[in-house]
Structure 1
Amino acid sequence: MDKIFGVMVLIGVPLSVAGSLMHWPTLMMFGIYCLTIIALSSYMGRATESLAIIAGPRIGGLLNATFGNAVELIISIFALQAGLIGVVLASLTGSVLGNLLLVSGISFFLGGLKYKRQKFNEYDARHNSGLLMFAVIVAFVIPEIFSWGMNKSETLSLSVGISIIMIILYLAALFFKLVTHRGVYANKPVEEEQHEEPEWSKGKAVIVLLLATLAVAYVSENLVHTFEAVGKSFGWTELFIGIIIVAIVGNAAEHASAVLMAMKNKMDVAVEIAVGSTLQIAMFVAPVLVLLSLAFDQSMPLVFTIPELVAMVTAVFLAVIISNDGETNWFEGLTLLAAYFIMGIGFYLL
């Protein structure tokens, strides 16, 4: 599979450059851009897996989520610049649903087929549950409810205030987890894990991450310009493109890495990638996009549609209930996947 992705990068990046310069058919370029981003994401996943082995599961999972979300952030910035506010909000919704339901679901399902019971740190799970409830239910629902009695300027001011608070709390959560309480709530290992050598050295992994991120930035800018034509061709709405297409392509790195970790029974890393990425999207990426939008022609308030909010709140409750006991199995993974596909059908038909 690594060789296939390598070939896809070697072919996809030059084709992306040539196609954008020579104005090849939009639908063809949409497919090339998506496949190229997914292939580049695989290299980001391999690099962060190496760093996870070197730095440990928490930092490794955080790095994976950060660089995986860098793709999403880059695509969203170009979409904001193009005035596609609906696509950006939908892609944020899709990231929350994709990480909590699709990524966790596939990871739990495939890992559970190989191991009957997979355990992870229940203290981290409970800590993350509280943050998930805050990020989605408090910080996302409040702007929607309060905006009913506000004008656009007041709604934007509320969104900016909430965004600043969320960024501060997210940074405080990282400080809590990685500095003041690092190792305080660690589970005692049942058995000694086998020592695993990283695929790449620390320096090589960092270089690969940076180069892949730069390439993704270029391809993403061109991908955004194909959304309108692709939507008209397939009858897709901005909502569906953002929630399903952009979210899956933008989070391909985390998808691959979390599943790989689960199949190796490294559930602490897998859960940290899926849940940590969700928290980073909700508490950092979304607020940053709100603040960045102030520099563009159209500012983006942190106001989602009712279907988006209901879907995210439902996903959070389901993920919290399933993960709070610190262990999982294939059936719980299948339950998460079923919820994702039900929501996907709903958004497609909406």
Structure 2
Amino acid sequence: MSRGKVLVVGGGIAGLSTAWALARRGFAVELFEQGALPYARASSYDEHRIIRHAYGDMEGYAYLMPSAFRVWEALWAAIGATHYDAMPVIYLMRGESEWYETTRRSMGRMGVACEDIPIEAAMALYPMVNPDGVTRVVRTEGAGILYPIRILTDLVKLIAGLGVVLHPDTRVEAVDLEAGLVRTGGGVVGGDAVVVTAGAWVNRLVPSTIGEAVPSRQAVMFLAPPPRFAAAWQAAPVLIDLGAESGTYTLPPRAATRLKIGDHQFTRRGDPDEDRVGTDADVARLTEAARRAWQDFDEYTVLERKACFYTVTADERFLVRREGARGWLGSACSGHGFKLGPLIGDGIAGAIAGERTEAAVSVWAAGR
């Protein structure tokens, strides 16, 4: 017997995970997505993403990661496939920062390996690294690569098989979070609760998020390395360059994906309805940072420059809270939304089911 009907607005990792968690708890669920499922313009849609325990001064999120990995394991069991490759993340530090001490502390408390590698040894292992200015190299375990497109595709199939009613290509025009209503071009649908997980479009449906969850146009580049570095990149782990003027993250070309580089400096500008083709302006800072991180970067072939959108809060923390008598907001702020998406979705479903209080789930999701 159904425990009630919940409407989920948004079909990225947050919405799909919330729908899965609700269906497992016996709720009737309908999910609305403005595009196809999965949607190529959604923030979640990507070839590969990093998952890790290392979180620097955001230690609360570090301590959520063991639980996040357990939910991922449950998902692999449910879909019958593992869209994850375990591998270390290597941090190339150019100058000292608080990241190092807080990461060593949290990793030590969790029992996850975090160790220094001699710089000369690291340069021998990773000949594509530009050694200029490298002051420390840190290897962290409890990490790897997730494959989002494959994950989203299998999640859609999974929840459809659990009876979730899917509404792809259905733009939600408005939500009434007091009455539990969702309005589309085809009419109004009512439920006992509405969960808005609309990503970069959240401001249009939940006005209270305007100025708090800010859409941010971000750029990544997909690359082919010069032949002399091709084998090194194929065997490489995830490499993150930490420096005031660098700050790149680079994922190796594993499992038929391409070499990808991005940075963590948020633009906090843009309209999510813009196209996803990366412009010269989009990649200007990223290109300069990549030149500092990687040897002879101008010899790399740019295969694609792509723009994506995140929402960003001032402190890069998730917004999970009640909105109105029958509404919930689930906004994954910054790029760490994907790795924690299934865990946060489970938390929202648990709160709707009465397993935890509104206040508790909001604090928990903010990593506090």
Q: What TM-score results when the alignment is normalised by the length of structure 2?
A: 0.27
> 1 or 2, which has the higher helix percentage?
1
- Structure with larger RCO (C-alpha < 8 A, sep 6+): 1
Greater percentage in strand = 2
Q: Bigger radius of gyration, 1 or 2? A: 2
